[in-house]
Protein backbone atom coordinates (compact mmCIF):
# COMPACT_ATOMS: atom_id res chain seq x y z
CA UNK A 1 0.00 0.00 0.00
CA UNK A 2 1.13 3.55 -0.59
CA UNK A 3 1.06 6.50 1.78
CA UNK A 4 -0.90 9.57 0.77
CA UNK A 5 0.98 12.58 -0.52
CA UNK A 6 1.40 15.19 2.23
CA UNK A 7 -0.43 18.49 1.90
CA UNK A 8 -3.62 19.33 0.03
CA UNK A 9 -3.96 18.18 -3.56
CA UNK A 10 -4.08 20.83 -6.26
CA UNK A 11 -4.23 20.54 -10.03
CA UNK A 12 -0.73 22.02 -10.25
CA UNK A 13 0.74 19.37 -7.94
CA UNK A 14 -1.14 16.56 -9.62
CA UNK A 15 -0.13 17.66 -13.12
CA UNK A 16 3.50 18.09 -12.13
CA UNK A 17 3.46 14.56 -10.75
CA UNK A 18 2.04 13.25 -14.02
CA UNK A 19 4.77 14.91 -16.04
CA UNK A 20 7.44 13.56 -13.70
CA UNK A 21 6.01 10.07 -14.11
CA UNK A 22 6.11 10.07 -17.93
CA UNK A 23 9.01 7.55 -18.02
CA UNK A 24 7.00 5.15 -15.86
CA UNK A 25 3.99 5.55 -18.16
CA UNK A 26 6.20 4.71 -21.15
CA UNK A 27 7.70 1.67 -19.43
CA UNK A 28 4.31 0.47 -18.26
CA UNK A 29 2.91 0.85 -21.76
CA UNK A 30 5.65 -1.32 -23.20
CA UNK A 31 5.18 -3.98 -20.53
CA UNK A 32 1.41 -3.97 -21.01
CA UNK A 33 1.68 -4.58 -24.74
CA UNK A 34 3.26 -7.93 -24.01
CA UNK A 35 0.25 -9.04 -21.96
CA UNK A 36 -2.87 -10.75 -23.23
CA UNK A 37 -6.00 -9.32 -21.65
CA UNK A 38 -8.71 -11.63 -20.38
CA UNK A 39 -12.28 -10.38 -21.03
CA UNK A 40 -13.46 -12.42 -18.05
CA UNK A 41 -11.29 -10.40 -15.64
CA UNK A 42 -12.53 -6.96 -14.61
CA UNK A 43 -10.51 -4.55 -12.45
CA UNK A 44 -12.18 -1.82 -10.36
CA UNK A 45 -10.97 1.16 -8.39
CA UNK A 46 -12.14 4.49 -7.00
CA UNK A 47 -10.64 7.44 -5.16
CA UNK A 48 -13.65 7.07 -2.83
CA UNK A 49 -12.60 3.54 -1.86
CA UNK A 50 -15.09 0.67 -2.10
CA UNK A 51 -18.05 2.90 -2.85
CA UNK A 52 -19.82 4.91 -5.51
CA UNK A 53 -20.27 3.84 -9.12
CA UNK A 54 -17.40 1.35 -9.23
CA UNK A 55 -18.84 -0.73 -6.40
CA UNK A 56 -22.35 -0.51 -7.89
CA UNK A 57 -21.02 -1.72 -11.25
CA UNK A 58 -19.05 -4.56 -9.65
CA UNK A 59 -22.17 -5.81 -7.90
CA UNK A 60 -24.27 -5.55 -11.07
CA UNK A 61 -21.64 -7.43 -13.09
CA UNK A 62 -21.54 -10.16 -10.43
CA UNK A 63 -25.32 -10.58 -10.66
CA UNK A 64 -25.34 -10.62 -14.45
CA UNK A 65 -22.36 -12.89 -15.03
CA UNK A 66 -21.22 -14.85 -11.95
CA UNK A 67 -18.32 -16.42 -13.88
CA UNK A 68 -16.51 -13.08 -14.15
CA UNK A 69 -13.45 -12.55 -11.98
CA UNK A 70 -14.00 -9.14 -10.38
CA UNK A 71 -11.02 -7.62 -8.58
CA UNK A 72 -10.79 -4.40 -6.57
CA UNK A 73 -7.52 -2.44 -6.72
CA UNK A 74 -7.00 -1.29 -3.12
CA UNK A 75 -4.91 1.77 -2.36
CA UNK A 76 -4.97 1.51 1.44
CA UNK A 77 -5.16 -1.10 4.15
CA UNK A 78 -8.65 0.16 5.03
CA UNK A 79 -9.80 -0.55 1.47
CA UNK A 80 -8.29 -4.01 1.63
CA UNK A 81 -10.10 -4.74 4.90
CA UNK A 82 -13.40 -3.50 3.46
CA UNK A 83 -12.93 -5.66 0.35
CA UNK A 84 -12.38 -8.71 2.52
CA UNK A 85 -15.45 -7.84 4.61
CA UNK A 86 -17.58 -7.59 1.45
CA UNK A 87 -16.21 -10.82 0.02
CA UNK A 88 -14.53 -9.05 -2.91
CA UNK A 89 -11.22 -10.20 -4.35
CA UNK A 90 -8.61 -7.44 -4.17
CA UNK A 91 -5.01 -6.59 -5.02
CA UNK A 92 -2.74 -3.73 -3.81
CA UNK A 93 -2.82 -1.36 -6.76
CA UNK A 94 0.70 0.07 -6.49
CA UNK A 95 2.47 -3.27 -6.04
CA UNK A 96 3.41 -5.86 -8.63
CA UNK A 97 0.16 -7.72 -8.05
CA UNK A 98 -1.82 -4.55 -8.82
CA UNK A 99 0.10 -4.00 -12.05
CA UNK A 100 -0.44 -7.62 -13.09
CA UNK A 101 -4.20 -7.49 -12.39
CA UNK A 102 -4.65 -4.19 -14.24
CA UNK A 103 -2.48 -5.33 -17.14
CA UNK A 104 -4.40 -8.57 -17.60
CA UNK A 105 -7.96 -7.27 -17.07
CA UNK A 106 -10.18 -7.07 -20.11
CA UNK A 107 -12.25 -4.35 -18.41
CA UNK A 108 -10.95 -1.58 -16.16
CA UNK A 109 -13.53 0.59 -14.34
CA UNK A 110 -12.63 3.85 -12.57
CA UNK A 111 -14.53 6.80 -11.10
CA UNK A 112 -11.91 9.54 -11.10
CA UNK A 113 -8.87 8.69 -13.19
CA UNK A 114 -6.50 5.90 -14.12
CA UNK A 115 -4.83 6.26 -10.74
CA UNK A 116 -7.90 4.54 -9.25
CA UNK A 117 -6.23 1.33 -10.47
CA UNK A 118 -2.58 0.86 -11.47
CA UNK A 119 -2.24 3.83 -13.78
CA UNK A 120 0.75 2.37 -15.65
CA UNK A 121 -1.08 -0.75 -16.85
CA UNK A 122 -4.38 0.44 -18.39
CA UNK A 123 -3.36 0.61 -22.07
CA UNK A 124 -5.26 -1.89 -24.18
CA UNK A 125 -8.10 -2.49 -21.74
CA UNK A 126 -11.76 -1.73 -22.31
CA UNK A 127 -11.93 1.25 -19.98
CA UNK A 128 -15.14 2.38 -18.30
CA UNK A 129 -14.83 5.90 -16.88
CA UNK A 130 -17.79 6.11 -14.50
CA UNK A 131 -16.94 9.60 -13.25
CA UNK A 132 -18.38 10.76 -9.94
CA UNK A 133 -21.14 13.15 -10.85
CA UNK A 134 -22.84 14.99 -13.69
CA UNK A 135 -20.72 18.02 -14.49
CA UNK A 136 -21.71 21.59 -13.77
CA UNK A 137 -18.15 22.85 -13.42
CA UNK A 138 -15.81 22.31 -16.38
CA UNK A 139 -13.59 19.25 -16.38
CA UNK A 140 -10.20 18.18 -17.63
CA UNK A 141 -9.11 19.82 -20.89
CA UNK A 142 -12.10 22.20 -20.83
CA UNK A 143 -10.98 23.89 -17.62
CA UNK A 144 -8.09 26.37 -17.34
CA UNK A 145 -7.60 25.33 -13.71
CA UNK A 146 -7.33 21.64 -14.56
CA UNK A 147 -4.34 22.35 -16.80
CA UNK A 148 -2.48 24.33 -14.17
CA UNK A 149 1.21 23.67 -13.62
CA UNK A 150 1.80 26.33 -10.99
CA UNK A 151 4.69 28.64 -11.93
CA UNK A 152 5.18 26.72 -15.18
CA UNK A 153 1.67 27.64 -16.34
CA UNK A 154 3.03 30.88 -17.77
CA UNK A 155 5.10 28.87 -20.24
CA UNK A 156 2.87 28.28 -23.30
CA UNK A 157 4.59 25.03 -24.23
CA UNK A 158 4.02 23.59 -20.75
CA UNK A 159 0.26 24.19 -20.82
CA UNK A 160 0.03 22.80 -24.37
CA UNK A 161 1.94 19.71 -23.26
CA UNK A 162 -0.43 19.22 -20.34
CA UNK A 163 -3.49 19.56 -22.59
CA UNK A 164 -2.00 17.03 -25.01
CA UNK A 165 -1.23 14.62 -22.17
CA UNK A 166 -4.79 14.86 -20.88
CA UNK A 167 -6.29 14.17 -24.27
CA UNK A 168 -3.89 11.34 -25.11
CA UNK A 169 -4.85 9.63 -21.89
CA UNK A 170 -8.59 10.13 -22.00
CA UNK A 171 -8.91 8.99 -25.62
CA UNK A 172 -8.30 5.47 -24.33
CA UNK A 173 -11.69 5.49 -22.59
CA UNK A 174 -14.08 3.01 -24.18
CA UNK A 175 -17.29 3.93 -22.36
CA UNK A 176 -18.35 6.92 -20.28
CA UNK A 177 -21.97 6.56 -19.10
CA UNK A 178 -23.92 9.71 -18.30
CA UNK A 179 -27.29 10.35 -16.69
CA UNK A 180 -28.90 12.46 -19.45
CA UNK A 181 -28.39 13.86 -22.93
CA UNK A 182 -27.61 17.21 -21.30
CA UNK A 183 -24.15 16.00 -20.33
CA UNK A 184 -23.06 14.22 -23.52
CA UNK A 185 -21.41 17.22 -25.24
CA UNK A 186 -19.68 18.26 -22.00
CA UNK A 187 -18.07 14.86 -21.48
CA UNK A 188 -17.16 14.54 -25.16
CA UNK A 189 -15.35 17.85 -24.99
CA UNK A 190 -13.68 17.35 -21.59
CA UNK A 191 -12.40 13.84 -22.38
CA UNK A 192 -11.96 14.21 -26.17
CA UNK A 193 -14.42 11.42 -26.89
CA UNK A 194 -16.89 10.72 -29.68
CA UNK A 195 -20.63 10.69 -28.88
CA UNK A 196 -20.76 6.91 -29.32
CA UNK A 197 -18.32 6.57 -26.39
CA UNK A 198 -20.47 8.76 -24.10
CA UNK A 199 -23.68 6.82 -23.63
CA UNK A 200 -26.86 7.84 -21.83
CA UNK A 201 -27.09 4.65 -19.79
CA UNK A 202 -27.50 6.36 -16.43
CA UNK A 203 -24.88 6.59 -13.69
CA UNK A 204 -24.42 3.44 -11.58
CA UNK A 205 -23.75 5.62 -8.53
CA UNK A 206 -27.29 7.05 -8.63
CA UNK A 207 -29.23 3.77 -8.69
CA UNK A 208 -29.82 4.00 -4.95
CA UNK A 209 -31.78 7.22 -5.54
CA UNK A 210 -34.46 5.39 -7.50
CA UNK A 211 -34.83 1.97 -5.90
CA UNK A 212 -37.87 1.16 -3.78
CA UNK A 213 -40.59 3.52 -2.59
CA UNK A 214 -39.96 7.15 -1.67
CA UNK A 215 -40.82 6.36 1.94
CA UNK A 216 -38.41 3.43 1.93
CA UNK A 217 -35.60 5.56 0.51
CA UNK A 218 -36.29 8.23 3.10
CA UNK A 219 -36.25 5.74 5.96
CA UNK A 220 -33.02 4.08 4.81
CA UNK A 221 -31.25 7.41 4.33
CA UNK A 222 -32.36 8.74 7.71
CA UNK A 223 -31.12 5.59 9.39
CA UNK A 224 -27.66 6.03 7.84
CA UNK A 225 -27.52 9.69 8.80
CA UNK A 226 -28.77 9.26 12.33
CA UNK A 227 -26.34 6.42 13.01
CA UNK A 228 -23.42 8.61 11.92
CA UNK A 229 -24.50 12.01 13.28
CA UNK A 230 -25.07 12.28 17.05
CA UNK A 231 -28.16 14.25 18.00
CA UNK A 232 -29.80 14.24 14.56
CA UNK A 233 -32.63 11.83 15.39
CA UNK A 234 -36.00 13.51 14.94
CA UNK A 235 -34.51 16.77 13.63
CA UNK A 236 -34.57 18.32 10.20
CA UNK A 237 -31.31 17.98 8.24
CA UNK A 238 -29.97 20.83 6.09
CA UNK A 239 -26.94 19.74 4.08
CA UNK A 240 -24.23 22.18 3.00
CA UNK A 241 -22.11 20.70 0.19
CA UNK A 242 -19.49 23.14 -1.10
CA UNK A 243 -17.42 22.21 -4.13
CA UNK A 244 -13.63 22.02 -4.36
CA UNK A 245 -11.73 25.17 -5.26
CA UNK A 246 -8.31 23.74 -6.17
CA UNK A 247 -6.79 24.29 -2.76
CA UNK A 248 -8.34 27.68 -2.10
CA UNK A 249 -10.54 28.14 1.00
CA UNK A 250 -14.30 28.15 0.76
CA UNK A 251 -15.33 31.83 0.50
CA UNK A 252 -18.74 31.00 1.98
CA UNK A 253 -17.49 30.01 5.44
CA UNK A 254 -19.80 31.83 7.90
CA UNK A 255 -18.56 34.69 10.03
CA UNK A 256 -18.75 34.36 13.82
CA UNK A 257 -21.99 36.32 13.78
CA UNK A 258 -23.42 34.11 11.04
CA UNK A 259 -22.47 30.96 12.97
CA UNK A 260 -24.48 32.30 15.90
CA UNK A 261 -27.43 33.02 13.62
CA UNK A 262 -27.19 29.51 12.16
CA UNK A 263 -27.31 28.06 15.68
CA UNK A 264 -30.30 30.23 16.54
CA UNK A 265 -32.19 29.29 13.36
CA UNK A 266 -31.51 25.58 13.92
CA UNK A 267 -32.68 25.79 17.55
CA UNK A 268 -35.92 27.50 16.57
CA UNK A 269 -36.63 25.07 13.76
CA UNK A 270 -35.44 21.83 15.39
CA UNK A 271 -32.84 21.48 12.63
CA UNK A 272 -29.19 20.58 12.21
CA UNK A 273 -26.72 21.89 9.62
CA UNK A 274 -24.60 19.07 8.19
CA UNK A 275 -21.46 20.31 6.47
CA UNK A 276 -19.99 17.94 3.90
CA UNK A 277 -16.80 19.43 2.47
CA UNK A 278 -15.50 18.06 -0.80
CA UNK A 279 -12.84 15.40 -0.13
CA UNK A 280 -10.23 17.72 -1.62
CA UNK A 281 -11.62 20.90 -0.07
CA UNK A 282 -9.62 23.16 2.21
CA UNK A 283 -12.49 25.03 3.82
CA UNK A 284 -12.25 26.04 7.45
CA UNK A 285 -15.25 25.04 9.58
CA UNK A 286 -14.12 25.57 13.18
CA UNK A 287 -17.59 26.04 14.63
CA UNK A 288 -18.84 23.18 16.79
CA UNK A 289 -22.24 23.04 18.44
CA UNK A 290 -25.19 20.71 18.87
CA UNK A 291 -26.69 22.35 15.79
CA UNK A 292 -23.74 22.04 13.39
CA UNK A 293 -21.93 18.81 12.47
CA UNK A 294 -19.21 17.97 9.98
CA UNK A 295 -20.06 14.88 7.92
CA UNK A 296 -16.98 14.46 5.68
CA UNK A 297 -16.49 11.44 3.40
CA UNK A 298 -14.23 9.94 6.06
CA UNK A 299 -17.36 9.56 8.21
CA UNK A 300 -19.90 8.84 5.47
CA UNK A 301 -18.03 7.76 2.32
CA UNK A 302 -20.98 7.87 -0.08
CA UNK A 303 -23.36 10.79 -0.48
CA UNK A 304 -25.99 9.19 -2.76
CA UNK A 305 -27.48 6.89 -0.07
CA UNK A 306 -27.89 9.92 2.24
CA UNK A 307 -29.74 12.36 0.01
CA UNK A 308 -33.29 11.17 0.63
CA UNK A 309 -32.69 11.80 4.33
CA UNK A 310 -31.83 15.47 3.74
CA UNK A 311 -34.57 18.10 3.98
CA UNK A 312 -32.81 20.95 2.14
CA UNK A 313 -29.57 21.36 0.21
CA UNK A 314 -27.27 24.38 0.26
CA UNK A 315 -24.60 24.27 -2.43
CA UNK A 316 -22.67 26.28 -4.99
CA UNK A 317 -21.37 24.44 -8.10
CA UNK A 318 -21.46 20.84 -6.87
CA UNK A 319 -22.89 18.12 -9.08
CA UNK A 320 -24.83 17.05 -6.01
CA UNK A 321 -27.48 19.55 -7.07
CA UNK A 322 -28.50 17.22 -9.91
CA UNK A 323 -28.74 14.18 -7.66
CA UNK A 324 -30.48 15.83 -4.72
CA UNK A 325 -33.11 17.21 -7.11
CA UNK A 326 -34.47 13.66 -7.45
CA UNK A 327 -35.78 13.92 -3.87
CA UNK A 328 -37.87 17.00 -4.66
CA UNK A 329 -36.40 18.92 -1.73
CA UNK A 330 -35.58 22.66 -1.78
CA UNK A 331 -32.19 23.81 -3.07
CA UNK A 332 -30.56 27.04 -1.94
CA UNK A 333 -27.62 28.24 -4.03
CA UNK A 334 -24.73 30.02 -2.29
CA UNK A 335 -22.19 31.46 -4.73
CA UNK A 336 -20.37 34.61 -3.57
CA UNK A 337 -17.48 33.95 -5.96
CA UNK A 338 -19.44 33.23 -9.15
CA UNK A 339 -17.48 35.59 -11.38
CA UNK A 340 -14.09 34.40 -10.13
CA UNK A 341 -15.05 30.73 -10.26
CA UNK A 342 -16.49 31.07 -13.77
CA UNK A 343 -13.26 32.72 -14.96
CA UNK A 344 -10.85 30.28 -13.35
CA UNK A 345 -12.68 26.94 -13.46
CA UNK A 346 -15.60 27.52 -15.79
CA UNK A 347 -19.18 26.23 -15.86
CA UNK A 348 -20.96 24.23 -18.54
CA UNK A 349 -24.45 25.53 -17.78
CA UNK A 350 -25.69 29.07 -17.47
CA UNK A 351 -25.78 29.67 -13.72
CA UNK A 352 -28.67 32.17 -13.66
CA UNK A 353 -30.75 29.76 -15.74
CA UNK A 354 -29.89 26.75 -13.55
CA UNK A 355 -30.63 28.60 -10.32
CA UNK A 356 -33.76 30.36 -11.53
CA UNK A 357 -31.76 33.63 -11.31
CA UNK A 358 -31.52 33.35 -7.53
CA UNK A 359 -28.37 32.63 -5.55
CA UNK A 360 -27.19 33.98 -2.22
CA UNK A 361 -24.00 35.86 -1.42
CA UNK A 362 -23.61 34.76 2.21
CA UNK A 363 -25.24 32.79 5.01
CA UNK A 364 -27.55 35.63 5.95
CA UNK A 365 -29.12 35.25 2.53
CA UNK A 366 -29.28 31.46 2.93
CA UNK A 367 -31.11 31.71 6.25
CA UNK A 368 -33.47 34.35 4.88
CA UNK A 369 -34.29 32.01 2.01
CA UNK A 370 -34.86 29.02 4.31
CA UNK A 371 -37.17 31.12 6.47
CA UNK A 372 -39.10 32.22 3.40
CA UNK A 373 -39.52 28.59 2.32
CA UNK A 374 -40.81 27.72 5.79
CA UNK A 375 -43.45 30.46 5.89
CA UNK A 376 -44.46 31.19 2.29
CA UNK A 377 -46.48 28.43 0.54
CA UNK A 378 -46.09 30.12 -2.85
CA UNK A 379 -42.30 30.19 -2.44
CA UNK A 380 -42.34 26.49 -1.54
CA UNK A 381 -44.41 25.71 -4.61
CA UNK A 382 -42.05 27.62 -6.90
CA UNK A 383 -39.07 25.91 -5.28
CA UNK A 384 -40.58 22.46 -5.79
CA UNK A 385 -41.25 23.19 -9.46
CA UNK A 386 -37.70 24.43 -9.91
CA UNK A 387 -36.26 21.31 -8.26
CA UNK A 388 -38.41 19.09 -10.49
CA UNK A 389 -37.09 20.91 -13.54
CA UNK A 390 -33.48 20.22 -12.52
CA UNK A 391 -34.26 16.54 -11.95
CA UNK A 392 -35.87 16.24 -15.40
CA UNK A 393 -32.86 17.93 -16.99
CA UNK A 394 -30.36 15.66 -15.26
CA UNK A 395 -31.84 12.12 -15.28
CA UNK A 396 -33.26 10.15 -18.17
CA UNK A 397 -33.29 6.77 -16.40
CA UNK A 398 -35.20 6.50 -13.13
CA UNK A 399 -35.52 2.72 -12.78
CA UNK A 400 -32.48 2.12 -10.56
CA UNK A 401 -30.89 -0.20 -13.15
CA UNK A 402 -28.13 1.98 -14.59
CA UNK A 403 -25.33 -0.22 -13.23
CA UNK A 404 -26.91 -3.19 -14.99
CA UNK A 405 -27.13 -1.27 -18.28
CA UNK A 406 -23.46 -0.31 -18.04
CA UNK A 407 -22.42 -3.88 -17.19
CA UNK A 408 -24.37 -5.23 -20.18
CA UNK A 409 -22.72 -2.69 -22.46
CA UNK A 410 -19.26 -3.70 -21.23
CA UNK A 411 -20.06 -7.40 -21.77
CA UNK A 412 -21.04 -6.57 -25.35
CA UNK A 413 -17.90 -4.51 -25.92
CA UNK A 414 -15.62 -7.29 -24.69
CA UNK A 415 -17.51 -9.97 -26.62
CA UNK A 416 -17.03 -8.22 -29.95
- Tell me the per-residue pLDDT of 52-95, one tens digit each, with 9 for 90 and over: 999 999 999 999 999 999 999 999 999 999 999 999 999 999 99
Q: How confident is the model at residue 161 (pLDDT cuts 50, 70, 90)?
A: low
Which segments of 55-211 are extended strands (E)?
A: 69-74, 89-92, 105-110, 126-129, 173-177, 198-199
Residue 3 has a pLDDT of: 41
How far from 355 is each of 139, 226, 274, 311, 347, CA to CA, in Å?
20, 30, 22, 18, 13
Q: How far apart are CA 292 and CA 313, in angstroms?
A: 14
| Architecture of the domain whose range is 11-206+399-415 | 3-Layer(aba) Sandwich (3.40)
Beta-sheet strand order (sheet of 331-333):
292-294, 271-275, 236-241, 312-315, 331-333
Q: How far apart are CA 52 and CA 30, in angstroms?
A: 32
Q: How far apart are CA 44 and CA 101, in angstroms?
A: 10
* Residue 236, phi-psi category: left (phi > 0), alpha (psi -120 to 50), beta (remainder): beta
Q: Do the two domains 11-206+399-415 and 212-394 of this chain adopt the same fold?
A: yes
Domain coordinates of the chain in residue numbers? 11-206+399-415, 212-394
Contact 211, 244 (CB under 8 A): no
Q: Which of the listed CATH numbers 1.10.260.40, 1.10.10.10, 3.40.50.12580, 3.40.309.10 matches domain 212-394?
A: 3.40.50.12580
What mean pLDDT do residues 85-114 have?
96
Q: Residue 223: helix, strand or coil by DSSP?
A: helix
Residue 2 has a pLDDT of: 47
Q: Is the pLDDT higher at 80 or at 140?
A: 80
Q: How far apart are CA 21 and CA 55, in angstroms?
A: 28
Contact 398, 48 (CB under 8 A): no
Bridge partners, 292 (sequence order): 273, 289
Task: Say if residue 291's pLDDT is above 70.
Answer: yes
Read off φ and ψ for residue 193, nearest 5 degrees: -115, 160
Q: How far apart are the first and last CA of the chain?
A: 35
Q: How far apart are CA 416 and CA 197, in angstroms?
A: 15
- Per residue in 280-289, pLDDT (tens digit) is 665 577 888 9
Read off the DSSP letter of residue 347. Answer: B
Q: How confident is the model at residue 150 (pLDDT cuts 50, 70, 90)?
A: low
Q: Which string of DSSP letters, residue by residue, matches 77-123?
A: HHHHHHHHHTT-EEEETTSHHHHHHHHHEEEEEESS-GGGS-GGG-T
- Per residue in 364-395, pLDDT (tens digit) is 999 999 999 999 999 999 999 999 999 999 99
Q: How far apart are CA 127 and CA 106, in angstroms?
A: 9
Task: Say if residue 20's pLDDT is above 70.
Answer: no
Chain centre to alpha carbon of residue 336: 22
Task: Say if residue 4's pLDDT is above 50.
Answer: no
Amino acid sequence: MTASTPGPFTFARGNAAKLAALPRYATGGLRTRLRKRDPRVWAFGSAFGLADGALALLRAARRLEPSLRLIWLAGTEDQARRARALGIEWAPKERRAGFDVTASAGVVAVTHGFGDVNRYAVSGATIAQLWHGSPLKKLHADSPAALSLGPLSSVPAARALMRQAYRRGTRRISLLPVAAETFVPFMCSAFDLAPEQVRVLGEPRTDVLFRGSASGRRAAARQLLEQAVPGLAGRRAVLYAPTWRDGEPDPSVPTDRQWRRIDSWCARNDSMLLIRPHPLGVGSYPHASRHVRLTPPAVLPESMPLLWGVDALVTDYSSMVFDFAVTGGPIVFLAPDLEHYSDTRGLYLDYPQLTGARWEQNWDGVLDRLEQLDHDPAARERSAAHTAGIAALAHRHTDGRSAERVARELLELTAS
